[in-house]
């Protein structure tokens, strides 16, 4: 999955559930905070499908709370 597509999916999840989202750039990763839950996204053009699915799953679990 492309990194930008993953970040877009995280923003969509946050918007659908009216959650706050904060994005900060670290040295090697992007730190996305969704309603207090930190999700780390690797800074690569392509992110492995399993990694992308687990990141989206974390965001959806936070949205379900």
- Percent of the chain topping pLDDT 70: 100
pLDDT attached to residue 37? 85
- Cα-based distances in Å from 40 to 10, 43: 11, 9
pTM of the model: 0.86
Taking residues 47-59, what's their average pLDDT?
93
Taking residues 17-38, what's their average pLDDT?
89
pLDDT (tens digit per residue) in 41-52: 999 999 999 999
Looking at every residue in the chain, the average pLDDT score rounds to 91
Whether 1 has a pLDDT exceeding 90, the answer reads yes
Domains of the chain: residue spans and CATH: 3-64 (3.30.920)
């Amino acid at each position: 999955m492309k990194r930008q597509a993953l970040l877009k999916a995280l923003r969509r999840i946050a918007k659908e559930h009216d959650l706050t989202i904060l994005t900060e750039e670290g040295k090697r990763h992007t730190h996305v905070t969704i309603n207090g839950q930190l999700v780390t996204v690797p800074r690569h053009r392509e992110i492995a499908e399993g990694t992308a699915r687990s990141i989206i799953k974390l965001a959806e679990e936070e949205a379900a709370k």
